């Protein structure tokens, strides 16, 4: 299982976790820090976006019509508000435009047609009996009282074509009941003001809705003209008795549906978009001492409602948006993405930076209104943050944080895309301009590049928004201010953060690589062999790390300091001995204890020097848990083999947890071992180095380092190339003839 790091209560980094429980506790603390940062971010964003809900600005008495204004009412920022009066009028108009709904009752028509059929059968039967008119009339009165008058019956019988008249009348009745004979209400004068109605009827099992102009609506008043128009085939002689029959059995079957009409009108009114009016920044609603009229009261009320309204949709949307950004940040700052495992103090730093950025953006959104076309985010030192994160962590971390900060600006800037783009692009630019910075003066040069980029970005934004005149000077001013301020901020805070976070930034590693450092000069004077060994290991490690695209500068510095624990007991290490070996007078177990102690002493010195955590880890891990073979073999030869265990003669360090630490381990072992080679050749070096690398691999010393077999092959080639330069005068190259064979 891969080892991880822990941090003590003072924020100092301790090399590694000793127990799984401690690691789990640290993970919980880191998770708690992230949770607190997320909650605080949500609180800041919600307060900023719902500011008036938390701090009401107006009282109800401030907008009473006819009262005297107690102060000037000036709009602080553009506000869109609901114009209640205009909205009411618009909705009333929309409601009146909804046509009154009439429903056709099919059952009424069916019953009337059934009654008509019975009447026809009865009259035809009486006509066949050839009774007198009086007799027929009286018998009809018994069964169908009041249907036809005696005069109408006489006119009908005189046609001599009862069957034809009845057929025509039935056809007319069927169409009338199908179309619907409407009863128009008289009591609601405005009901029919639209000049049309909507008729609902069932036809073929489907509800049909039809809009009909009033002049085309079928009623009792226009029934006769409707029949004459629709049925021109009826002979003029038969038309009066036909109309008599139709009038005798017709009845309204279309009625005004109050409930459906009200529903439709309410729906239409609800679908009307509220009328929005706008209060412009610096607009004077009313001056102190003026009488508040209706319009001013509505505007002051709108200003007050803006200050106290809680937008639940906005709150839910912002919280969901922040959850997505939080999850994205967890993904972007994984070790695989940023290229480094973040320690707890680094997580705290990132959380603090994010909270500072959000708080600054929230305050700016509340109290600052930028010049037209220039985004609010131009004041935020985004580039400074991305520069610091890039130099302290990695380029990918700087780009990832730029994206997160750009997303966090969106809800505070009312989803302004230009504010988002400025933060993102300046953040990424800040990462790019310091990617190869090696001196602190490079940060000043980066400010020039950032200013030039800001000019281009802001000019583009202003042109896209078609801003008016007078934008050039503000663009130039804000561009240079943002660019140079970002570089100066990063330049001022970088040394503080380097030491506060105890991180291996590029600048700090360059400072530590100075061989004139007091600890290295002391190493040179007290342990010259170890010093020369460290320089050689540094050259090997730097070359190999460059070849596998690891941090070559970290490997060099780690190699310089990896054996500083030998300073106090330098004479016990063979590279510092000239003739006499002190271990000849010691037991193997004691000698092994002395050799192992240089790891502990090295870590203690590294802490005293406040070396970066990554360098401390290289010191702690450069021997892994390897066996001190020389003294282990002596112990086996001199004592009881059953009482000698390899654990007693193994380093109590930790296996390398990074590629740089693993390379330093290999370089340390190879450099020391190659000193014993006699008559080295290229072939011997390749086999010798590969055997050492594979020995470390098979003993699982490299299991946590993330090195691949391709990396190991590349490391071997790099080591051989450097060693060939060391042993150039001693290497025997094959003769031409032997090589030809």
Q: Does residue 339 have a pLDDT over 80?
A: no
- How many Å apart are CA 644 and CA 649, to the nearest integer? 9
pLDDT of residue 304: 63
Q: Does residue 739 have a pLDDT over 70?
A: no
100 Cβ contact list (under 8 Å, min separation 6): 191, 192, 194, 197, 198, 256, 261
89 Cβ contact list (under 8 Å, min separation 6): none
User: Helices 395-412 and 417-433, interaxial angle, to 10°?
Assistant: 160
Q: Does residue 93 have a pLDDT over 70?
A: yes
Least confident of 242-256, 289-303, 352-366, 684-698: 289-303
Q: What average pLDDT does the structure give for the chain?
A: 81
575 Cβ contact list (under 8 Å, min separation 6): 527, 529, 530, 532, 533, 672
- How many Å apart are CA 400 and CA 383, to the nearest integer? 13
> For the residues of 620-675, what is the DSSP string, one character each?
HHTTTT-B-HHHHHHHHHHS-GGG--GGGGB--S----SHHHHHHHHHHHHHHHHT
- What 8-state DSSP symbol labels residue 18? S
CA angle in degrees (0–180, nearest 5) for 563-568-570: 65
Q: Report the predicted TM-score, pTM, of the whole model to 2 decimal places.
A: 0.58
> Tens digits of per-residue pLDDT, 630-663?
676 777 767 655 566 766 777 777 788 889 999 9
pLDDT of residue 584: 64
> Tens digits of per-residue pLDDT, 217-273?
888 888 888 988 888 888 888 889 999 899 999 999 999 888 988 898 899 888 888
- What 8-state DSSP symbol labels residue 182? B
Closest among 17, 554, 471, 67 to 289, alpha carbons compared: 67
- Domain boundaries in the chain? 6-50+311-503, 52-83+275-308, 516-740
456 Cβ contact list (under 8 Å, min separation 6): none
493 versus 372: which is more confidently predicted?
Answer: 493
Quote the tokens at residue 361: 């953006």
Closest among 421, 375, 376 to 402, alpha carbons compared: 421
Closest among 441, 454, 448, 453 to 491, alpha carbons compared: 441
pLDDT of residue 624: 81
pLDDT of residue 118: 92
Least confident of 151-165, 316-330, 363-377, 394-408: 363-377
CA distances from 59 to 56, 221, 406 (A): 8, 61, 37
Quote the tokens at residue 740: 């030809």
Q: Which CATH architecture has domain 516-740?
A: Orthogonal Bundle (1.10)
Write out the H or E segment, with its range, that includes residue 405.
Answer: helix 395-412
Q: Does residue 382 have a pLDDT over 80?
A: yes
> Tens digits of per-residue pLDDT, 396-427?
889 999 999 999 998 888 788 888 999 999 99
Least confident of 69-73, 361-365, 730-734: 730-734
Closest among 672, 587, 583, 659 to 621, alpha carbons compared: 659
pLDDT of residue 276: 77
CA angle in degrees (0–180, nearest 5) for 286-289-293: 50
Decide: helix, strand or coil at residue 13: strand
- The answer to whether residues 201 and 208 touch, using CB atoms and an 8 Å cutoff, is yes
For residues 284-310, average pLDDT? 71
- C-alpha 508: how far from its chain's center? 34
């Amino acid at each position: 299982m891969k080892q991880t790091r822990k941090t003590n209560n003072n924020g100092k980094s301790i090399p590694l976790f000793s127990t799984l429980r401690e690691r789990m506790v640290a993970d919980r603390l880191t998770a708690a820090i992230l949770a607190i940062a997320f909650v605080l971010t949500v609180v800041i964003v919600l307060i900023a976006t719902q500011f008036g809900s938390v701090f009401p600005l107006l009282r109800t008495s401030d907008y009473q019509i006819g009262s005297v204004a107690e102060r000037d009412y000036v709009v602080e920022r553009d506000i869109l508000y609901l114009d209640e009066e205009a909205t009411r009028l618009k909705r009333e108009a929309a409601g009146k435009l909804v046509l009154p709904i009439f429903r056709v009752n099919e059952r009424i028509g069916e019953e009337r047609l059934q009654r008509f059929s019975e009447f026809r059968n009865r009259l035809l039967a009486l006509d066949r009996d050839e009774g007198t008119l009086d007799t027929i009339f009286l018998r009809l009165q018994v069964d169908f009282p009041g249907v036809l008058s005696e005069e109408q019956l006489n006119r009908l019988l005189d046609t001599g074509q009862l069957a034809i008249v009845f057929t025509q009348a039935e056809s007319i009745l069927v169409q009338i009941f199908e179309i619907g004979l409407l009863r128009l209400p008289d009591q609601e004068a405005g009901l029919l003001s639209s000049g049309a109605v909507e008729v609902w009827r069932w036809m073929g099992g489907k509800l049909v809705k039809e809009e009909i102009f009033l002049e085309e609506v079928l009623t009792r008043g226009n029934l006769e003209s409707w029949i004459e128009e629709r049925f021109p085939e009826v002979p003029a002689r038969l038309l009066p008795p036909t109309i008599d029959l139709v009038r005798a059995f017709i009845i309204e079957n279309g009625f005004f549906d109050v409930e459906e009409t009200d529903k439709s009108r309410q729906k239409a009114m609800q679908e009307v978009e509220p009328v929005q009016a706008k209060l412009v920044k610096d607009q004077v609603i009313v001056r102190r001492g003026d009488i508040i009229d209706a319009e001013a009261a509505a505007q002051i009320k709108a200003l007050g409602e803006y200050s106290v309204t809680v937008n639940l949709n906005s709150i839910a949307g912002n919280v969901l948006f922040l959850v997505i950004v939080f999850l994205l940040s967890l993904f972007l700052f994984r070790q695989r993405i940023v290229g480094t495992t973040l320690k707890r103090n680094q997580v705290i730093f990132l959380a603090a930076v994010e909270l500072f950025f959000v708080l600054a953006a929230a305050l700016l959104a509340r109290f600052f209104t930028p010049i037209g076309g220039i985004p609010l985010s131009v004041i935020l030192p985004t580039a400074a943050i991305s520069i610091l994160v890039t130099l302290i962590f990695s380029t990918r971390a700087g780009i990832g944080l730029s994206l997160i900060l750009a997303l966090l600006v969106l809800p505070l800037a009312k989803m302004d895309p230009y504010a988002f783009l400025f933060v993102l692009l300046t953040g990424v630019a800040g990462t790019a301009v310091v990617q190869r910075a090696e001196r602190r003066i490079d940060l000043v040069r980066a400010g020039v590049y950032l200013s030039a980029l800001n000019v281009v970005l802001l000019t583009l934004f202003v042109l896209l928004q078609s801003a008016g005149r007078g934008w050039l000077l503000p663009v130039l001013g804000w561009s240079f201010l943002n660019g140079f301020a970002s570089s100066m901020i990063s330049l001022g805070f970088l040394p503080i953060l380097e030491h506060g976070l105890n991180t291996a930034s590029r600048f700090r590693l360059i400072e530590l690589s100075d061989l004139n450092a007091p600890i290295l000069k002391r190493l040179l004077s007290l342990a010259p062999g170890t010093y020369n060994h460290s320089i050689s290991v540094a050259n090997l490690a730097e070359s190999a790390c460059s070849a596998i695209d690891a941090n070559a500068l970290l490997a060099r510095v780690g190699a310089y300091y990896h054996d500083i624990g030998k300073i106090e007991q330098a004479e016990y290490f063979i590279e510092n001995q000239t003739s006499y070996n002190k271990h000849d007078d010691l037991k193997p177990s004691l000698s092994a204890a002395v050799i192992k102690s240089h790891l502990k002493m090295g870590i203690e010195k590294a802490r005293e020097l406040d070396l970066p955590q990554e360098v401390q880890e290289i010191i702690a891990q450069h021997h892994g848990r390897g066996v001190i073979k020389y003294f282990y073999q002596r112990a086996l030869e001199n004592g009881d083999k059953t009482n000698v265990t390899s654990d007693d003669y193994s380093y109590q360090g930790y296996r390398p947890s990074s590629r740089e630490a693993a390379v330093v381990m290999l370089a340390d072992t190879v450099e020391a071992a190659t000193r014993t080679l006699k008559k080295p050749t290229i072939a011997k070096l390749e086999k010798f180095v590969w055997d050492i690398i594979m020995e470390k691999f098979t003993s699982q010393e490299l299991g946590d380092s993330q090195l691949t077999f391709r990396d190991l092959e590349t490391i071997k080639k790099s080591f051989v190339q450097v060693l060939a330069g060391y042993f150039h005068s001693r290497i025997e190259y094959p003769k031409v003839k032997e090589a030809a064979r």
